[in-house]
Structure formats: structure tokens, C-alpha cells
Amino acid sequence: MALVSGLSYDAFKPELWSAELNFSLKNALVADSLVNRNWQGDIQQFGDTVHIQEPGSVTSRAYTAYSDITWEQPSPTDRTLVIDNADYTAVDVDDIDEAQARVDLMQSHMQEAAFSLADTEDAFIFEMYTDANSGVSSDHANSLALTAGNVYQRFVEAAFVLDTQDVPKTGRWAAITPEETSLIRQAGQFVPVDDSSNNRAGGGTSDSARIVRTGEVGQIAGFTVFESNNMTTVSGVKKLLFGTRRATTFANQITEMEAIRRESRFADGVKSLNVYGKSTQRAEALALLHVTA
């Protein structure tokens, strides 16, 4: 990746800036706590397709002494993760602003770029609600109104939906908006994040060592609860999600990071390209609650 000679960012290293932008991007994501990145290392560019082999089911059978056993050949399911989304940022800093600034302006701009990219990715990941094959409320037309008096019951019902799908109880999460957070904080069963146990979505750590993930607010009804303003709303109905990280896989990569000297002005510029995609592998590990906005 060649740089223009004479560029004032002589110390610019595309690989380092890409890694830093990726790191800041991941830390800014709320939905990153709700998906797995098992195939992150298999993508290189926009348009990549990763073929994921899901193992077929295996049957257990009663054994009878001195009898032949039955062999089976499980049929794997081929699923795909397609990197079919791309967003870019392009930022420049005028030489005068850079000279007068007391902070590294480009560094600050890159952090803001990470937040902007993360905001778009969050909304994209939450669109996995369309893959949920079961829910607390039957459909969009039968959305429910949540109150401080019934919110715990709805979370219990969501847990029941996952129970009937044989979804493990460990690592369950719920994704809600700030409005629902204000309701569950009034429920006696809610445990705020500062007091919650070490049963975190994606694995536990001791209370003294754990780092609270972005958007995590606490626990209720067996769910670690995450708050986001990017939950999908369709025609006045919010799509709240419950599930585990096994449901959906997500991958992103900063594939391009270039610094240039702007030809038409006295300024340096940095542009980046972020590619990403998602694929729901286990729809049974997602439950949906339609809530009246």
C-alpha cells in the first residue's frame, strides 16, 4: 500500500492503524457480545464467502448384547457466511488545524470513525431478528405493551421459548432499548451490572477481574441484558431479541487503510474500508419479542 512521498504522516503504518481501528470498532460494538466470530480469520475482502459445515445429528440407540450395531453417516449442512456489506470513512485534517491542535486530531478522528462504523454494524447485526423462528408474541400484528409490572413475566416467557428449543441456559443474553431498561430496573428480580454474578454472556470471569462490556446493564430471568439504541423498529413495533452467541456468526475486516496528501488543499487525509457480513446458523437459539414502541 504505497504512500504519497512528502506525506506529513511519515510514521503512518497502515497495518497498525487498521489494527487500532479494528480494536476501537470492536470495543464500540454492543452487538459484538451477542454473536460469535468463529470465522473471522477466513475473510479477506468484500464478496468473500465462507462455507460452514454444520454437523448432522447423531442418534443414540439401545445396545443389545451379541447383536450387531447400526452405523450411520450424519449428513452435514452447508451454510454460508457472505461478506456483502462495505462502509468507508474518509477524513482529512488541514495543516493549520493540526499545527494549532493540542491533541492528535487524526487519532481522534479515527476513534470517531470507529464509533460511526460500529453504530452501522450494530444496527446490521440486530437485523438477525428476521431469522428467529420462535417468539414470545406470535407476530408483528400482536405486539405487546411492556410495563414495570409485566416485564419480568415476558423475560420468563422468553426463557421458556429457548428452553423448549433445548438452548443451553448458560450464556443467554437479551437485547433491549433504554426504555425497557428503565422498566426492568423497577423489577425486584433485576440485578444491576455492579452487583451481578459472574455468569456473563460468552463466558464468566471473577467479579474482581471482569470487564463490563459496552451496553451491559445487568441480569434478569437468566439473561445477561444489553442495551442499545439500534434495536430494529418496524412500523412502531420494536424487535427485542433473546438468545445465545451460538445463534449468529459475524465477521468484519478493515481491508483498506490509506493515507494521502490532499492534492487540492494543504491537508492530510486517511480513508478506510470496512467489510462485514453475518449468518444465523442456529435460528432455534433466537427468540423474538414484538413490543409496542
| pLDDT score recorded for residue 195 | 53
Question: Is 243 inside any structural domain?
Answer: yes
| pLDDT score recorded for residue 272 | 85
Task: Domain of residue 181: give its range.
Answer: 134-247+283-292
Contacts with 210 (C-beta within 8 Å, 6 or more apart), sequence order = 198, 200, 204
What is the chain's pLDDT, residue by residue, as a tens digit (293 residues)? Answer: 333 333 444 444 455 555 555 555 555 578 888 999 988 877 778 888 888 777 777 889 899 998 999 998 887 777 888 999 999 988 887 776 665 555 466 677 777 888 888 889 999 999 999 999 777 765 766 788 999 999 999 999 999 999 999 999 999 999 999 999 999 999 999 998 875 444 444 444 433 333 344 689 999 999 999 999 999 999 999 999 999 999 999 998 888 888 778 877 787 888 889 999 999 989 999 999 999 98
Give the model confidence (pLDDT) of 235-273 as tens digits: 999 999 999 999 999 998 888 888 778 877 787 888 889
Give the model confidence (pLDDT) of 57-69 as tens digits: 788 989 999 899 9
- Closest C-alpha among 185, 243, 178 to residue 219: 185
Question: Is 5 inside any structural domain?
Answer: no
| pLDDT score recorded for residue 221 | 96
Q: At 47, which CATH number?
A: 3.30.2400
Question: Is 217 inside any structural domain?
Answer: yes
Q: At 226, which CATH number?
A: 3.30.2320
Looking at the fold, whether 205 and 260 belong to one and the same domain comes out as: no
| pLDDT score recorded for residue 23 | 56
Cα distance between residue 158 and residue 164, in whole Å:
10
The sign of the dihedral angle between the CA atoms of 189, 195, 197, 203 is positive
Tally: H helices and E strands in the chain = 5, 12
Contacts with 165 (C-beta within 8 Å, 6 or more apart), sequence order = 134, 284, 285, 287
Looking at the fold, whether 123 and 255 belong to one and the same domain comes out as: yes
| pLDDT score recorded for residue 22 | 59
| pLDDT score recorded for residue 99 | 58
Q: Residue 209 class from Cβ within 10 Å (0-12 exposed, 13-18 middle, 19+ buried)?
A: exposed
Question: Is 4 inside any structural domain?
Answer: no
Question: Is 68 inside any structural domain?
Answer: no
Looking at the fold, whether 220 and 82 belong to one and the same domain comes out as: no
Question: Is 49 inside any structural domain?
Answer: yes
Looking at the fold, whether 116 and 238 belong to one and the same domain comes out as: no
What's the total number of domains in the chain? 2
Looking at the fold, whether 113 and 203 belong to one and the same domain comes out as: no
Cα distance between residue 265 and residue 63, in whole Å:
80
Looking at the fold, whether 87 and 32 belong to one and the same domain comes out as: yes
Looking at the fold, whether 148 and 234 belong to one and the same domain comes out as: yes
